[in-house]
C-alpha cells in the first residue's frame, strides 16, 4: 500500500493545475487510488473496526466510485481526495505498520 501511496504523491507533485491539465496523470492517480482501495477492501471487517484511525470506508468508497465511473472520472474529486485525505491515509498506514 505504501508503494501506491508514494506513486500518488509523485504523480500529483506538480500541483493542482498540472494535475487537472494532464489526463495521463489523472488516470495514473486514479489507478493507484483504486489499488489502495482494493487492498483496503480485503482487510477483514473486524480489523477495520479495531483500527478506526484509518479512513477505510472513504478509501473503499473512492475505489468503488473509480470502478463505476471509469469512463467519467472526476479530476476535481480525485484532486480533492489527494489534497484533503491522502495525509490521513498515510498516517493510518504508518500507525498500522508499527
pTM: 0.90
pLDDT at 71: 76
Angle, alpha carbons 22-80-17 (nearest 5°): 35
From the CB of residue 75, how many other CB atoms can be counted at a distance below 10 Å? Answer: 18
Sequential DSSP letters for 64-85: HHHHHTTTS--HHHHHHHHHHH
Write out the residue range of the structural domain in which residue 9 sits: 2-96
Number of domain units in the chain: 1
Q: What is the pLDDT of residue 52?
A: 87
pLDDT at 84 over 70: yes
Q: Encode pLDDT of 22-74 as tens digits.
A: 999 999 999 999 999 999 999 899 989 998 888 899 999 999 999 998 778 89
Cα–Cα distance between 33 and 13 in angstroms, integer? 15
Question: Cα dihedral sign for 21, 64, 89, 96?
Answer: negative
Give yes or no for residue 95 having a pLDDT over 90: no
Q: Residue 98: what pLDDT?
A: 62
Amino acid at each position: 500500500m505504501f508503494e501506491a501511496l508514494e506513486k500518488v504523491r509523485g504523480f500529483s507533485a506538480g500541483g493542482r493545475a498540472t494535475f487537472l491539465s494532464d489526463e495521463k496523470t489523472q488516470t495514473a492517480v486514479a489507478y493507484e487510488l483504486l489499488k489502495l482501495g482494493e487492498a483496503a477492501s480485503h482487510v477483514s471487517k473486524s480489523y477495520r473496526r479495531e483500527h478506526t484511525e484509518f479512513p477505510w470506508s472513504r478509501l473503499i468508497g473512492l475505489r468503488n466510485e473509480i470502478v463505476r465511473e471509469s469512463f467519467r472520472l472526476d479530476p476535481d474529486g480525485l484532486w480533492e481526495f489527494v489534497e484533503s485525505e491522502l495525509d490521513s491515509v498515510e498516517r493510518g498506514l504508518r500507525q498500522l505498520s508499527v
